[in-house]
Structure 1
Amino acid sequence: MWVEQAIYTSLPRDGKAGYHVVSRSRGVSDEDTRTLAIWSPSHGALLLDGANQVSVNFHPLADGRYALSRSCEGLPEYSGRGGRQIYTHALILERSHVERSGYRLLALYRDALALGHFRYRPDPDPVLEPVELGRCHRASDPKEMVARARDLGLGDLSEVRRQLVSGESIRLRFSGDRVFLAECLLDLLPREIIPTLSFSTSLQISSVRPYRLSILG
């Protein structure tokens, strides 16, 4: 299946400076870029440690599609403010893409990562082409995820599951692999809930980025 893509980072381009959508494929609208700019992290927003060098994020777009993104550090910040730029590469998913994957968003993420779609590009082309993702993803096994979560010391996730199903926004702190924790939680949820659950695995809390599930260090 083919998906659109966009890159949000800090680069001087086309008369713009600072953080903005610097690259996108033709199917990404101006409205999409404005929404991506709201949800994507800027300077100092990443929470990185030895077990977590990226943040995986998922959120809705205004046109009924979704953005599945990977945020990482890039080159030193060009503006001289110190630190490194934050580079967010988003794949734009239709509802049908999510359904076709069996609602396995992290399987789609790993697929895109293995295919090189999320590779860091210090100077990306302004116009990107759509990219292809695989069509077959192994069905989730909630019992397997519960066992793996227990082995990693995550404990009983039933209360967190209840909160997510009821529509609450929650913040979890975890020093281990936060992408894996997100996958455990998603695999425990009813399928119809998953497209409604925005999440990030390693971003600072911000009122501008209203993720329902925020996993922190």
Structure 2
Amino acid sequence: MAPLSPKSLQASKTRVSIPAGTVPVEQAIFTSARTAKKDGYQLVAWSPGISADDARVLAVWGPAHDSMIADDPSDVSLNFHPLKDGKFCISRTMLGSAEYSGRGGRQVYTHCFVLNAASFARFHNDPFRVLSAALAIHDLRPGPELPTDLPTMMMLPSGPPVEPGLIRFFDAPLQQQTLVTWFHHALTSKKLLFTGNYNDRYLSVFFNLLPVSIRPWFPFSTRLRYSPRREFRLIGLANDIEEQKKAARQEGCSTFGFDMPARTSELSRHPWATWVQVALCQREPDIAAQMIGELPLSTRLEDLPSIGNRLRVALSGQRRKEAGSAPADSLPPVALESDTDREELLRLVERSLDGDVSALERLSSAWGCPEDARMEKLREDCAQHFVKLSRERKSNGCSRSSMAMEILSLILRASP
């Protein structure tokens, strides 16, 4: 047998060193530099799989001088958008070293990761999983010297389509309600500008709670100045009033403020947002995660209202079944033996309307066991109390209820 050449040995070692299950991800860097080809903003380095068409699109799209909203070297804009030929780009933009030209300010440095549709599907079409995998491999901050070429990165996708832990990431009622309101506006707006005290975790949880097939429909940036040549659906503009005014002049733009999100009437809320509210109420989110993760890849954006309604009803029924077969100490017991206990149930209705998640869970568990005449009478009393309270709040112009009236309607079989 003839000995292998050094080149063959190197190729053999390369093949052996690639972990099973990894996905090839191309990369490119767009920034300001003086190179042999040109001076100014350009692609300074890219991996072998970046085609000429990819390079042209990335160069046109790339954020140039003064593209970051904040002049803060620690600030990072996360970006996601489609390319040609079914490819996707996930990128991080931040400020680098001082501009070489001496015009003042820092260079804007963008590290791009490019995947085809099949590779992106391995990450369940979630741009945040791609970014997490990239950050796990190496530091993505600009170094003292710019690279001249880049290798194709081999990333290892992991995790289920929907991470149950992320469903419960926001456990405070105000955070949950902000997320539910965000879902409604994101799903009903042509373009959504978001401002205020935004945290990247909101977008991460948003993608986690979308069906896998719907996720590519929401290109975004989180810290870039508005530009009509960068087609995003979700656009983070912090508190820069001038940028907000410039973007708001574009047709079809809506605004969402994370500091004081405008409440949406439960009756006009997008059904998928109401379903998200039900999922956030679950003490154990695994069932909700499984329901979203099992939706077919043929699911379309226009299917979400009907699917949201179906999942909400299915999960409410599942929880009632579990409550009936669960051990006595799995939920705080609700006694049903006296008028005093009746008063406690009426108070639980009031607390549920005020946004108390534990009250809603306890109210739901009260009817988990087989029905009898006494329990049905209690349900009727609670239903009447619910209808009375909801009508009073409507007549007073009060929209405090953070638990959707539709959820209580399912539990109490009553319509406000």
Normalised-by-shorter TM-score class: 0.7 to 0.9
How far residue 206 of structure 1 moved from its aligned partner, in angstroms, is 1.0
C-alpha RMSD of the superposition: 2.5
Following the alignment from structure 2 to structure 1, what is the Cα–Cα distance between the partners of residues 188 and 214?
Answer: 10
CA contact (8 A) 1:174 1:215 kept: no
What's the counterpart of residue 190 of structure 1?
211
State which of 85, 101, 104 in structure 1 corresponds to 2:126: 104
Following the alignment from structure 1 to structure 2, what is the Cα–Cα distance between the partners of residues 21 and 33?
Answer: 7
Structure 2 residue matching 1:127: 3-state secondary structure: coil
Percent identity reads: 33
CA contact (8 A) 1:142 1:188 kept: no
Q: Report how many residues are paired.
A: 215
State which of 45, 54, 59 in structure 1 corresponds to 2:67: 45
Q: Counterparts in 2 of 1:1-217, with a 5 A limit?
A: 1-48=23-70, 53-116=75-138, 118-141=140-163, 144-145=166-167, 148=170, 150=172, 153=175, 155-166=177-188, 168-177=190-199, 179-217=200-238
Following the alignment from structure 2 to structure 1, what is the Cα–Cα distance between the partners of residues 173 and 136?
Answer: 26
Following the alignment from structure 1 to structure 2, what is the Cα–Cα distance between the partners of residues 166 and 2?
Answer: 35
Q: Structure 2-normalised TM-score? A: 0.48
Q: Against the structure 1 CA distance between its residues 133 and 79, is the aligned structure 2 distance closer, same or farther, given a 3 Å change threshold?
A: same
Moved more, 6-15 or 41-50: 41-50
Moved more, 41-50 or 95-104: 41-50
Q: Structure 1-normalised TM-score? A: 0.87
Q: Against the structure 1 CA distance between its residues 205 and 164, is the aligned structure 2 distance closer, same or farther, given a 3 Å change threshold?
A: same
Following the alignment from structure 1 to structure 2, what is the Cα–Cα distance between the partners of residues 78 and 152?
Answer: 46
Does 1 or 2 have the higher relative contact order (CA < 8 Å, sep 6+)? 1
- 1:206 partner amino acid: S
- Highest CA radius of gyration, 1 or 2? 2
What's the counterpart of residue 403 of structure 2?
none
Following the alignment from structure 2 to structure 1, what is the Cα–Cα distance between the partners of residues 222 and 47?
Answer: 25
Richer in helix (by share) = 2
CA contact (8 A) 1:169 1:211 kept: yes
In the alignment, structure 1 segments of 5+ residues that lack a partner are none
CA contact (8 A) 1:8 1:22 kept: yes
How far residue 127 of structure 1 moved from its aligned partner, in angstroms, is 2.3
In the alignment, structure 2 segments of 5+ residues that lack a partner are 1-22, 239-416
How far residue 153 of structure 1 moved from its aligned partner, in angstroms, is 3.5
